Amino acid sequence: MHHPFPGEAELIATIDEAVSLGHAHAITGELSRSLSRLIAEQRVQLPAAVFEADESHYARRLLHQSDRHGYCVIAMTWAPGQGTPIHDHAGLWCVEGVWRGALEVTPYDLLEEVDGEARFRPQKTIHAGCGSTGSLIPPFEYHTIRNTDPSAIAVSVHVYSQAMNRCAVFEPSHGEWHRRRERVLQAVEA
């Protein structure tokens, strides 16, 4: 069951306006600016559940699914040390903003794929503090995210062009090579 939160209407209106721009680069640019502004102004108060970590894995919580535009807004809660393997975004554009704490984000270039394995090269790691935003637009959609703080949780908000119910994750195999496997993603209602 959906529980409204203070500033929810402003968050949705802001995303709707950006999505109406129609082109992935224009949408993600506007969403990055808008999300950073909303975080700084603190008028949007995310539901309390978003700030509760799950010690077994990072938590994905659904904030909004747009029937009109198709986009999906997910809050992710990262306990100290939690992170992701290299993963893609299933061909969807995404804008991510750090709502609380800080995250370490490393983008990867996909160099080649052969027989279910992929070879990646890491790019410069980004230390994203509260209010930082970034975007991924396919084919540049591979990265890792990690909360490196040893004692504090981090919260990020992710806006996807559609519901992202699955993605490919890449587990180390040898050298720059990683074995590809599909992962089903779930988000609970916030």
List pLDDT tens digits, range 62-112: 999 999 999 999 999 999 999 999 999 999 999 999 999 999 999 999 999
Q: How many angstroms separate the CA atoms of 7 and 46, rounded? A: 8
pLDDT digits (tens, 9 = 90+) for 25-48: 999 999 999 999 999 999 999 999
- What pLDDT sits at residue 1? 60
Q: Where are the alpha helices (DSSP H) in 61-182?
A: none
Q: Are 17 and 35 in contact (CB under 8 A)?
A: no
The residue count of the chain comes to 190
User: What count of other Cβ atoms lies within 10 Å of the Cβ of residue 113?
Assistant: 13
pLDDT recorded at residue 32: 97
Strand 188-189 with 59-65, pairing: parallel
Distances in whole angstroms, Cα of residue 145 to Cα of each of 42, 119, 165: 24, 19, 18
Domain boundaries, the chain: 8-189
- Compute, in degrees rounded to 10, the torsion defined by CA atoms 27, 30, 32, 38: -130
How sure is the predictor about 187, in pLDDT bands with cuts at 50, 70 and 90? confident
With a pLDDT cut of 70, the percent of the chain lying above it is: 99
CB neighbourhood size of 8 (10 A): 18
DSSP state at residue 17 = H
Q: Are 171 and 181 in contact (CB under 8 A)?
A: yes
The superfamily (CATH) of domain 8-189 is Jelly Rolls (2.60.120.10)
pLDDT of residue 186: 83
> What digits encode the pLDDT tens for the residues 152-183?
999 999 999 999 999 999 999 998 899 999 99
Instruction: Flag whether pLDDT at 6 surpasses 90.
Output: yes
